[in-house]
Homo-oligomer: A and B are copies of this chain.
Amino acid sequence: LTVLALGIEQVHDARVRIAPHAVRTPLLRNSALDAAAGGQVFIKAENLQTTGSFKFRGAMNRLLALSTEEIGRGVVAFSSGNHALAVAEAARFLGCTAVIIMPLDAPTVKVAGVRARGAEVIQYDRDRDDREAIAADLISARGLSLVHPFDDPFVIAGQGTAALEAVEQLKDDFNVDRVDQALICCSGGGLAAGWGMVIKYAFGEADIVTVEPDGFDDTARSLASGDWKSNERTAGTICDALQVSTPGKITLPLLLSQGAKGVTVTDEEVLAAMNFAASHLKLVLEPGGAAPLAAVLSGKVKTTRRTTLLIASGGNVDPAMLISSIDRGAT
């Protein structure tokens, strides 16, 4: 089953495949953040990626690995937004039809961005409808290929390419040859599993820590119990990108094999992190993209005298939400 082959080699292959298309985003360090953390913190700024989030890496890698025939028939994806934008952009680049299934409560900026890229949008009710069933119908009716947001080896390998760059940048830009921990925001787990693979390969002793919103800690509980757990709620966090209800079939075993553990952050902590990002890092982050930073600033993970690598995974935020994060007074 070559399609399931998934290791550091596949991440290297993904990197070569997407190199002409994806941005090699900067790895940043900031003295105010180091001071707040009491240690060294490095930020992989994937909000600066094409389409405003890391998702473009996995989507582009997946589409580039499809056959000419499959590209000719088109692709379908379900996503609250960032994966949708990424698939729409990758499809546009390849001249391929894309149908994106998005929840009705997806941020306006994300829905508009998908439509602007020429993709067809089908909206569904997060509580009432089954987005996977809608996708299955489209696949059988129109022969579309599913671009899964996380449970796909090509997608996971694609997301891992950001970690591969970060490992290089740590060495080349900062002369740092190990980290104590990597903090990765987590929904279905594709990013976390891809990063975990690369980070454990590069720094065997480093801790892999997933960050989820309070009440959406399916991955943290699944990692603690060793089995798939689900969230009770389907909505109710400002982290619109981190609401998947249970870890992936592929991603959870990978994260368990990496010894990953999970922490959670509150909406308030996320807003404070978005404020810190705008004030000190001069970066616009969306709520889900600020979750790992929130874990550092709120002390949910120990950073004192440790070297921490975190991802700032996306910056696609509606203006009102961004304003509410800035309008909190200085931090």
Contact = CB atoms under 8 A, between A and B. Distances in A.
Contacts of A128: none
A23 interface: yes
Interface in A288-331: 315, 319, 322-323, 326-327, 329-330
Interface in A97-121: 109, 112
Contacts of A173: 24
A48 B282 contact: yes
Interface in A258-299: 278-279, 281-285
Q: How large is the interface on A (under 10, 10 to 19, 20 to 34, 35 or more residues)?
A: 20 to 34
A319 B327 contact: yes
A109 B32 CA distance: 14
A282 B26 contact: no
Nearest to A289: B282
Interface string A151-167: 00000000000000000
Given A47-B282, A323-B327, 15 more contacts: A23-B28, A24-B173, A26-B26, A26-B48, A48-B281, A109-B279, A109-B330, A112-B330, A278-B322, A282-B283, A283-B283, A283-B284, A319-B329, A319-B330, A323-B323
Interface of A: 23-26, 28-29, 31, 45, 47-48, 50, 52, 109, 112, 173, 278-279, 281-285, 315, 319, 322-323, 326-327, 329-330
